[in-house]
Amino acid sequence: MLNAAPGIRLSGFCPATSWECVDVNIILMGPQGSGKGTQAERIIPAYQLVSVATGELFRKAVGEGTPLGIQAKALMDRGELVPDDITCALVEEKLDEVGARKKAGEPVSGILFDGFPRTAAQAQRLDAALAERGDKIDAVILIDVPREDLVERLSGRRTCSSCNAVYHVTFNPPKVEGVCDACGGALIQRADDTPDAIAKRLDAYFGSTAPLIDFYDARNLVTRIDGNQPIDVVTAKITAVLGPTK
Ligand code: AP5
Ligand code: MG
Ligand code: ZN
Contact 145, 34 (CB under 8 A): yes
Q: Which of 62, 124, 163, 171 to mutate to test the pocket of ligand 1 (most atoms within 8 A of CB)?
A: 171
Single out the catalytic residue among 36, 94, 125, 153. 36
Distance between Cα 193 and ligand 1 center (Å)? 10
Same domain, yes or no, for 124 and 160? no
Q: What's the Cα-to-Cα distance from 219 to each of 47, 173, 213, 214, rounded to whole Å?
A: 24, 39, 10, 9
- Measured from the CA of 190, which atom of ligand 1 is nearest? 11
Look at residue 118 and tell me if it is in a domain.
Answer: yes
Same domain, yes or no, for 36 and 88? yes
167 CB within 6 A, ligand 1: yes
pLDDT for 10 equals 41
pLDDT for 217 equals 96
pLDDT for 120 equals 96
Largest CA distance in the chain: 53
Look at residue 198 and tell me if it is in a domain.
Answer: no
What is the C-alpha separation between 100 and 102, in angstroms, rounded?
A: 5
Same domain, yes or no, for 130 and 239? yes
237 CB within 6 A, ligand 1: no
Same domain, yes or no, for 99 and 2? yes
DSSP state of 119: S
Look at residue 169 and tell me if it is in a domain.
Answer: yes
CATH number at residue 214: 3.40.50.300
pLDDT for 107 equals 85
What is the C-alpha separation between 8 and 26, in angstroms, rounded?
A: 11
pLDDT in tens, the chain (246 residues): 444 443 443 434 444 334 444 578 999 999 999 999 999 999 999 998 999 999 999 999 999 999 999 999 999 999 999 999 999 999 999 999 999 998 898 888 899 999 999 999 999 999 999 999 999 999 999 999 999 999 999 999 999 999 999 999 999 999 999 999 999 999 999 999 999 999 999 999 999 999 999 999 999 999 999 999 999 999 999 999 888 775
Q: Could you give phi then psi for residue 132, rounded to 5 degrees?
A: -60, -25
118 catalytic residue (yes or no): yes
Look at residue 12 and tell me if it is in a domain.
Answer: yes
Same domain, yes or no, for 55 and 156? no
Stretch (H or E) spanning 143? strand 139-144
pLDDT for 115 equals 96
Q: What's the Cα-to-Cα distance from 45 to each of 2, 40, 88, 100, 191, rounded to whole Å?
A: 12, 9, 25, 19, 27
Same domain, yes or no, for 59 and 157? no
Length of the chain: 246
Same domain, yes or no, for 107 and 171? no
Determine the 3-state secondary structure of 38 from DSSP.
Answer: helix
Look at residue 104 and tell me if it is in a domain.
Answer: yes
What is the C-alpha separation between 58 and 22, in angstroms, rounded?
A: 30
* DSSP string across 179-246: B-TTT-PBEE--TT-SHHHHHHHHHHIIIIITTHHHHHHTTT-EEEEE-SS-HHHHHHHHHHHH----
Number of structural domains the chain divides into: 2
91 CB within 6 A, ligand 1: no
pLDDT for 246 equals 58
3-state secondary structure 59-115: HHHHHHCCHHHHHHHHHHHCCCCCCHHHHHHHHHHHHHHHHHHHHCCCCCCEEEEEC
Look at residue 111 and tell me if it is in a domain.
Answer: yes
Same domain, yes or no, for 214 and 187? no
- Measured from the CA of 40, which atom of ligand 1 is nearest? 18
Same domain, yes or no, for 185 and 221? no
Containing structural domain, residue 20: 1-145+203-246
Same domain, yes or no, for 40 and 119? yes
166 CB within 6 A, ligand 1: yes
37 CB within 6 A, ligand 1: yes
Same domain, yes or no, for 74 and 121? yes
Q: Which of 29, 42, 56, 58 to mutate to test the pocket of ligand 1 (most atoms within 8 A of CB)?
A: 58
Same domain, yes or no, for 67 and 181? no
231 CB within 6 A, ligand 1: yes
Single out the catalytic residue among 102, 136, 190, 224. 190
Question: Measuring from atom 29 of ligand 1, which residue has the nearest CA?
Answer: 55
| Helix-helix angle 120-132:84-103, to 10 degrees | 30
